[in-house]
Amino acid sequence: MTPQKQWVSQQQRQQQQKQQQKRTSGVTSATSGRGPAAVVFGLFSRKTSKPVMGSTVTTTTTTSGIKLTQNVDDQFLDELGVKEWPVWSCEESTFPWQYSEQESCLILEGDVVVTPDGGEPVAIQAGDFVTFPEGMSCTWDVKKPVKKRYYFGQF
């Protein structure tokens, strides 16, 4: 599945972020665009700061230690070998979890809200690439059945 390549204006990104906020209703989304945490890659040329036409916009944010990347391109996933990672799935449920080592995963299906102990809830959905830090304790609230490919450890 190849993400559609497009140039997204700042206004369009803001509209998408507002829709995400409405969808999560009361949950602080990692894509809410607050402050300097929201970083956009692939949109501008480093040399000229002009838009690069045909580039895919990848948004990466970090909230409560959880690194969330949206619109990850296939080349990045291929370089990591994500298609070879094991698959884990879970029905709608709520449960505590602790990461004894870093976990990276690609959400294939579903919606989940992960709330780190003492941190802000983070809404995660199908298509998101997520990295959870080693040592984090959290609660998973699976809203729609989740299926993910996962990898424990550093790259």
CATH number of the domain that residue 135 is part of: 2.60.120.10
Q: Is 4 among the domain residues?
A: no
Q: What is the pLDDT of residues 102-149, one digit of tens each?
A: 999 999 999 999 999 999 999 999 999 999 999 999 999 999 999 999
Q: Is 45 among the domain residues?
A: yes
Quickly state the pLDDT bin for 24 (edges 50, 70, 90).
very low
- pLDDT for 41 equals 35
Radius of gyration of the chain (CA): 16
Q: What is the pLDDT of residues 57-114, one digit of tens each?
A: 789 999 999 999 999 999 999 999 999 999 999 999 999 999 999 999 999 999 999 9
Contact call for residues 109 and 17 (beta carbons, < 8 A): no
Q: Is 44 among the domain residues?
A: yes
Q: Is the pLDDT of residue 51 over 60?
A: no
Total number of domains in the chain: 1
Residues spanned by the domain of 118: 10-152
- pLDDT for 142 equals 98
At position 76, the amino acid (one-letter code) is F
Name 78's Cβ contacts closer than 8 Å, sequence gap at least 6: none
- pLDDT for 50 equals 37
Assigned token pair, 8: 């997204």
Q: Is 1 among the domain residues?
A: no
Task: Report the C-alpha gap between 155 and 152 in whole angstroms.
Answer: 9
Quickly state the pLDDT bin for 11 (edges 50, 70, 90).
low
Contact call for residues 130 and 104 (beta carbons, < 8 A): yes
